[in-house]
Structure 1
Amino acid sequence: MTPQSTFMIVVPIVQGQREALESLLASMNLSPGRVDPYNSLIPFARFDTLHCAKLVIIEATNAEEIRAYGWEPHEWPVSLGLIGEIDGSRDHFMATLCVMAKPGLEKILGHCEGFDSHKGSLLEFLMAHQQDSAAEYVNWIGRTVTQVHEELALQRSLSEALPSIIKTVGRENVRTIRQHLMTHVEHELHQGRLTLTPEAATAWPVKFKRLVDLVGLPLLLLVLSPLLLLITPFVLLRFRQLEKQDPKISGRPDPSHSQSLSRIEDFDVTNQFNVFGDVKPGLFRLWLAKFILRLVDYFSRHVYHRGFLARIRTIHFARWTFLNNERSLYFSSVYDGSLESYMDDFVNKVAFGLNLTFGLGVGYPRTRWLIKGGAENEQTFKSTLRRHQFPSEVWYRAHPGLTAFDMARNARIRQGVEKYPRNDDAIRDWLSEI
């Protein structure tokens, strides 16, 4: 199995260079919201392990909200973010990126602080500005870009062949239909029009690391359980006290802001999402946020790694990253459908999950025990998210037009090719997928 990795490079933009940088990034698009996958600066489509990538300008547009807590706004320089999800090693991908896109990256980073005076290599500069995630989610760990493309080609080939086979042999004998389809697949594989690359073997060090990670956190919590049982009531009481003191911060997003977001949405069945804001003041809530996200990261790797996050099946990738010396939090996701349906899905199915992961952010609707309230106040929640949302200047996806459901279906079709279905009903189910 080839696991997925992520990267997030964040570099402050030189004062006075933002407009020029925005113009340069816009040249990577065919039109607003539609990237040129072979653009001359970063030809994303030439990287066969790259699932998604985006370039964003991260600005603290809601920094003033923290004044409601009696704190002065944190300083945050307007920054460029280069963000992506890949198959395999981050180090290997970044080294390849610095070779294949060196001139374009240098042109882009020339608008950022410290690049012109940097004495080391391009790779060293990028890795010096790498920001690790506090939590990550991958829809299906181990599903590679190559696998997605090959299984899509298989589904399309079988779909095209099926009608003529049914016309020849009829609909009744499903075993005969499958045998004809298998003959078709063997012929296409022999001709080189189809490829079904076997899953890469998982190296034993990776297996061992995963096992240690699987048992490590539960063992740590077990060892600490006497202490946790002792302090939990005090933690809960202190947290509830802080909740009651939270100021009410509300307000609808500026119409022009909403319009700038809407104009780059819904060009594909899949959309992307960026949110940036401050963590509520105080070490207590910062530590609580880090603990919660540590649990989210653990469950995403070991429980929710086969097509769903809690009850949500439409998310491809998601990440939470602390920035600005852990005073701010950035959230990114890639999801199927519209933003409205995305938010409705969460509000209706797992509002408590939204409260746990976002409820410690400045401006979030008031919660009760971090479980109730919050996202249950649907319109206030949606307005808060929209206020803190910002667009991607450039967004690339290696498999446009494919939803998470499509990828899962195509994987099942391949499974039906490589492993004989157990009975006629299973064959009928397999044919219906095609």
Structure 2
Amino acid sequence: MRQSAFTILTDIKPGHVDAVTRLLDRIDADRGRDPLGFDRLGTVHFASLSILPGSAGPDDDRASLVFEGNIDGPTARFLRQLRDLADGTVDEIYRHCAGHPGESGFDLVRYLTAHDIGTNVFYVARPGRSVGEVRREDRLRTRIREFLDGPEGAALRGQSPGLVHAAIVAYVRGRRDLAWALDPAPVPFLVRNGRWIAGLAVAPAALGLLLLIGRAPHQHGARLALLAVAAGAAAVAGRLRSAEKRDDEHDRKRSPTWQAAFAAVSGRISEVREFEDRGDQNHLASVAEIKPGRFRRITLRAVLAAVQARARLVDNRGSLGGISSIHFARWTMTPDGRRLIFLSNYDGSWESYLNEFIDLASGGLTAVWTNTDNAVGFPATRWLTSDGARDEARFKAFARYGMVRTRVWYSAYPHLSVPNIANNMAIRRDLGFLLGPDETRTWLRRL
């Protein structure tokens, strides 16, 4: 199963923001009844709806609605099923958005598809794991625990780890609702081979450069080619550093100061903070303005392309740059190239989440967001990846300023963290194998 992502961005009709807000709040309050059909569909990992403020700032009365989905299978099929299951609720939402005529018989699926701006980066902690698999593997662990806590399990106390493991295997094999677990789960191709592919992609360029360096002292053409590569790299580096110095100069002249700008929106941020820590899992929605100029847009696109390649080939086993609390995340540039939207579904609190980013992935974080701006301003950066997010106080203020309240949020397995899912996968993976004594003890501790 391959996961898909859609990011549907629509302008809200003038004067309709309050109506959309009330409607979304009603839907979120009624999520136990599943008014949008997400739970009944059984293919939605996470989904959210948020209202983004106008690009002129919090006082801009223009606003947009962003609908994010992290799903199993193709988006088109999902949207058709959503339309049919949601009993008109989705249509009720989009009647307030530009381009919807407010009439019955309107082709809602075509409308939503036309406004899907996709993603520049789509990160999945566990590629290939469907909603059904995640839930089934969690039930498997629960059933095994119930077996061990029952009379048959009591008789196993004091027995060797190998005997306990064999008894669990026999128990699973004897239950029709669990026997599936003895078949190994398929591992996606890129999870198995992504690191090799990444190495093979880099190797030819590295080899070519080494050959060029080796030939340069002896061949005029090789020297010219090497000089061209060096000159190109130097030109890009010089252009980047020049842009960073201009940012620093602009920041020194910024009025008001970043502290004053942050304080001015404390009321709006307090509203966001009130709803940000919902439980074991949470959702983050934020938007920032992309710095003006073609160079910044090109740089940002290049950085996002590199992050996407790493997410697909290397960071596809439950960790993004060492951060193991993210289930799904995306960066998406708006079609006009003016704004960057970030949406993330993660474990724990916002504070711990940002701390992990700063401690473990500040270089990549800085490379992305140093190309964006808001009234607080991103901290001073050198050479794209240095400093920046390491200025913790200002970076958190920058991130806070760009946050918007998530009005509707859905999780298919709200009690499971990314490590929980990985643990359940490992229980199933090693269930049907003959393990050594130490491996068996490790496996039993997973229960």
Q: Which category describes the TM-score, using the shorter chain as reference length?
A: 0.7 to 0.9
Q: Deviation at 1:38?
A: 3.2
- The alignment's TM-score, normalised by the length of structure 2, stands at 0.85
**8 Å contact 1:317–1:334 — kept in the other structure?**
yes
Instruction: Work out which of the residue numbers 385, 391, 411 in structure 2 matches 1:397.
Output: 411
The answer for the alignment partner of 2:214 in structure 1 is none
**8 Å contact 1:4–1:85 — kept in the other structure?**
yes
Distance 1:418 1:384, change over 3 A: same
Distance 1:37 1:295, change over 3 A: farther
Distance 1:221 1:273, change over 3 A: farther
Distance 1:377 1:141, change over 3 A: same
The answer for the alignment partner of 1:69 in structure 2 is none
Q: Deviation at 1:370?
A: 1.4
Aligned mates of 1:271, 1:181 — CA distance in 2: 35
Instruction: Work out which of the residue numbers 142, 153, 159 in structure 2 matches 1:156.
Output: 142
* Structure 2: unaligned runs, 5 residues or longer: 210-224
The answer for the alignment partner of 2:442 in structure 1 is 429
Distance 1:319 1:221, change over 3 A: farther
The answer for the alignment partner of 1:239 in structure 2 is 240
Instruction: Work out which of the residue numbers 27, 31, 35 in structure 2 matches 1:36.
Output: 31
Q: Deviation at 1:117?
A: 6.5
**One-letter code of the match for 1:49?**
T
- Does residue 309 (structure 1) correspond to residue 304 (structure 2)? The answer is no
- Does residue 385 (structure 1) correspond to residue 399 (structure 2)? The answer is yes
Aligned mates of 2:75, 2:154 — CA distance in 1: 49
Distance 1:201 1:340, change over 3 A: closer
Identity %: 28
Aligned mates of 1:198, 1:60 — CA distance in 2: 51
**8 Å contact 1:10–1:80 — kept in the other structure?**
yes
- Does residue 179 (structure 1) correspond to residue 190 (structure 2)? The answer is no
Q: Deviation at 1:223?
A: 11
Instruction: Work out which of the residue numbers 138, 142, 158 in structure 1 matches 2:128.
Output: 142
The answer for the alignment partner of 1:88 in structure 2 is 73
Instruction: Work out which of the residue numbers 307, 328, 346 in structure 2 matches 1:335.
Output: 346
The answer for the alignment partner of 1:124 in structure 2 is 110
* Structure 1: unaligned runs, 5 residues or longer: 65-72
**8 Å contact 2:131–2:412 — kept in the other structure?**
yes
**One-letter code of the match for 1:235?**
V
Distance 1:219 1:9, change over 3 A: farther
**8 Å contact 1:364–1:381 — kept in the other structure?**
yes
SS at match of 2:333: strand
The answer for the alignment partner of 2:98 in structure 1 is 113
Aligned mates of 2:239, 2:349 — CA distance in 1: 38
Aligned mates of 1:146, 1:420 — CA distance in 2: 27
**8 Å contact 2:269–2:403 — kept in the other structure?**
no
**Superimposed CA distance per residue, residues 373-395 of structure 1 (whole angstroms, 9 cap, x where no aligned partner):** 11111001001100011111100
**8 Å contact 1:38–1:45 — kept in the other structure?**
no
Distance 1:311 1:76, change over 3 A: farther
**8 Å contact 1:265–1:271 — kept in the other structure?**
yes
Aligned length, in residue pairs: 413
Aligned mates of 2:182, 2:114 — CA distance in 1: 35
Q: Deviation at 1:182?
A: 1.6
SS at match of 2:155: helix
The answer for the alignment partner of 1:376 in structure 2 is 390
**Superimposed CA distance per residue, residues 256-301 of structure 1 (whole angstroms, 9 cap, x where no aligned partner):** 2232112212222111111101111100111010011011111100
**8 Å contact 1:37–1:43 — kept in the other structure?**
no
SS at match of 2:275: coil
Instruction: Work out which of the residue numbers 73, 88, 111 in structure 2 matches 1:103.
Output: 88
Aligned mates of 2:441, 2:186 — CA distance in 1: 31
Distance 1:198 1:333, change over 3 A: farther
